[in-house]
């Protein structure tokens, strides 16, 4: 019988959730939706030394803003496998039970080494030119653990509550094979794997044990995570095997990295060219906040659409997709192995497409707040017509102001290039006549203005439309000219032309 699809997103509350983490959550969400399964948020807070206040709430809020809400887990409702924080699960004794089972079967051992002894071991290995010193099947022979100490000494140390950890006993020179649903078969020699700490001296499990126990207990069918966990996967396979649970092990999928625009490394949270976090994030340990995609003016649908196509394609050239459309198409056979370069300009393009999909009424409501912040009052219809006029020119709502400031404020400067090239006594005389015609118009609409201008071209000679635009707006380009004049209105247009002709 096919296992029900149950996936989890399991971040650590050690900081803000960056875009790479959001994409991992997104791919889990899409896969669960595609197969009618469950998507769970689990908080992996086993490393209490790195816990950051506010990080958990940030993760929950970021997922909600993105529209990729789990149907079970922290912040989203209890299910049959609560609690969903590992610190709370630890109190139930869940992890120790599994660690004790590994000890009993001889696949794990107690290690009593002090920090000083571990540091001394590393220095010895570095002196021996070992590139990556580690506690493994060779070095453990010279350390203080239950494999090297007499049995009665081990019992004495345990009875005395001597600080210790439980480590995985990795076999020597054994081939470990597992299938990744993105990368295919992966084969690693056990000599490349260190003896992972499974249970720390404070009784808290490490990621290596905790996520395996939780995935088994929560009946997770697919473990979807970042590429950075691929080197640890062979050790995880061994743990499943030694617990007698290899047949129940979730299928593994290691996602490719999101690379910076240059393609020479993964995206850093300190990237200055574009946001890295979905929402603005202020780490209490750092002075500077990080601005988010939301605060930068991105629509959540645009942000999610961008992320979906970083490492996955739907099988055609379609780019603009709703979450429902993505879910109907998503599968791991179209997820790439190679890292995906992030293109900030393409991200802005995505936002532009979603802006154009917004109703004019919605855009007007957003822009009205901008105007109010500047102390400018206009009626709703005026703002609505303005948004219709300029929305094709912008990528973000916040750009409406810069794109059309001249609609609300008369220009104080005029395009220098156009003025130098086109403004002369002949044109001044011509536009003085246009000014008089405009003053005599009884009806002021884009259609009437267009028709009158056509007649004026016949009666007065060729009238430079760009020069007229500069007189009214100060800039050389913009929306359709007669629509612009109609919006500004007759009184303001006449006033601006009069002022220009008087001063130039």
**How many CA within 13 A on the CB side of residue 289?**
8
DSSP string, 85-146: BHHHHHTTTHHHHHHHHHHHTTSEEEE---HHHHHHHHHHHHHTT-SS----TTGGGGSSBT
Q: How far apart are the first and last CA of the chain?
A: 84
- 3-state SS, residue 317: coil
Provide φ and ψ at 344, rounded to 5°: -60, -35
CB atoms within 10 A of CB 431: 22
Helix (H) or strand (E) holding 367: helix 360-373
Instruction: Give the DSSP H or E segment for 41.
Output: strand 38-41
- 83 cis-preceded (ω within 30 degrees of 0): yes
Cα separation, 372 vs 325, whole angstroms: 37
C-alpha 397 chain-centroid distance: 20
Cα(309)–Cα(324) distance, rounded to whole angstroms? 15
Catalytic residue among 64, 251, 269, 490: 269
Element holding 454 (H helix, E strand):
helix 446-460
Residue 210's Cβ-count burial label (10 Å; 0-12, 13-18, 19+) is buried
CA distance 67 to 298: 14
Helix (H) or strand (E) holding 424: none
DSSP designation for 266: B
**6 backbone dihedrals φ, ψ, rounded to 5°:** -135, 115
Which residues, listed in sequence order, are joined to residue 8 by a DSSP beta bridge? 40
Phi/psi at 40 (nearest 5 deg)?
A: -115, 140
The token pair at 260 is 């910076």
**H runs (alpha helix) in 218-294:** 233-242
Active site residue 269: yes
Count CB neighbours of 190 within 10 A: 17
Place of tokens 């104080």: 412
What residues are annotated to the active site? Answer: 269
């Amino acid at each position: 019988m096919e296992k029900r699809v149950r996936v989890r997103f399991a971040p650590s509350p050690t900081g803000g959730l960056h875009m790479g983490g959001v994409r991992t959550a997104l791919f889990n969400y899409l896969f669960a939706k595609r197969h009618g399964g469950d998507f769970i948020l689990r908080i992996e807070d086993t490393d209490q030394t790195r816990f950051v206040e506010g990080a958990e709430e940030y993760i929950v809020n970021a997922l909600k803003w993105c529209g990729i809400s789990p149907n079970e887990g922290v912040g989203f409702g209890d299910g049959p496998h609560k609690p969903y924080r590992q610190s709370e699960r630890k109190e139930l004794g869940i992890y120790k039970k599994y660690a004790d089972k590994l000890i009993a079967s001889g696949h794990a051992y107690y290690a009593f080494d002090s920090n000083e002894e571990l540091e001394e071991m590393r220095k010895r290995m570095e002196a021996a030119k070992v590139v990556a010193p580690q506690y493994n099947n060779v070095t453990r022979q010279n350390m203080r653990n239950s494999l090297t100490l007499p049995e009665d000494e081990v019992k004495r140390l345990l009875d005395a509550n001597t600080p210790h950890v439980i480590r995985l006993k990795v076999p020597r020179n054994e081939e470990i094979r597992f299938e990744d649903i993105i990368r295919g078969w992966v084969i690693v020699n056990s000599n490349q794997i260190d003896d992972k700490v499974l249970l720390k001296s404070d009784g808290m499990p490490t990621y290596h044990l905790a996520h395996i126990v939780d995935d088994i207990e929560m009946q997770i069918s697919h473990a979807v995570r970042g590429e950075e966990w691929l080197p640890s996967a062979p050790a995880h396979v061994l743990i499943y095997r030694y617990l007698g649970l290899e047949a129940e092990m979730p299928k593994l999928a290691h996602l490719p990295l999101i690379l910076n625009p240059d393609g020479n490394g993964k995206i850093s949270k300190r990237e200055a060219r574009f946001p890295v976090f979905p929402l603005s994030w202020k780490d209490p340990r750092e002075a500077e906040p990080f601005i988010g995609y939301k605060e930068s003016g991105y629509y959540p649908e645009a942000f999610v659409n961008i992320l979906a196509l970083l490492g996955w394609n739907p099988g055609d050239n379609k780019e603009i997709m709703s979450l429902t459309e993505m879910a109907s198409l998503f599968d791991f056979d179209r997820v790439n192995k190679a890292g995906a370069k992030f293109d900030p300009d393409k991200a802005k393009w995505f936002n532009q497409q979603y802006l154009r999909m917004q109703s004019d009424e919605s855009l007007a409501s957003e822009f009205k707040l901008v105007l109010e912040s500047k102390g400018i009052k206009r009626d709703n219809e005026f703002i609505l017509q303005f948004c219709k006029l300029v929305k094709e020119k912008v990528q973000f709502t916040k750009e409406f102001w810069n794109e059309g400031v001249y609609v609300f404020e008369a220009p104080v400067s005029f395009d220098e290039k156009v003025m130098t090239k086109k403004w002369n006594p002949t044109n001044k005389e011509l536009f003085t006549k246009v000014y008089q015609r405009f003053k005599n118009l009884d009806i002021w609409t884009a259609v009437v203005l267009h028709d009158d201008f056509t007649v004026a071209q016949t009666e007065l000679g060729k009238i430079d439309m760009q020069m007229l635009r500069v007189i009214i707006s100060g800039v050389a380009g913009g929306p359709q000219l007669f629509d612009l004049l109609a919006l500004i209105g007759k009184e303001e247009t006449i006033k601006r032309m009069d002022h220009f002709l008087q001063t130039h």
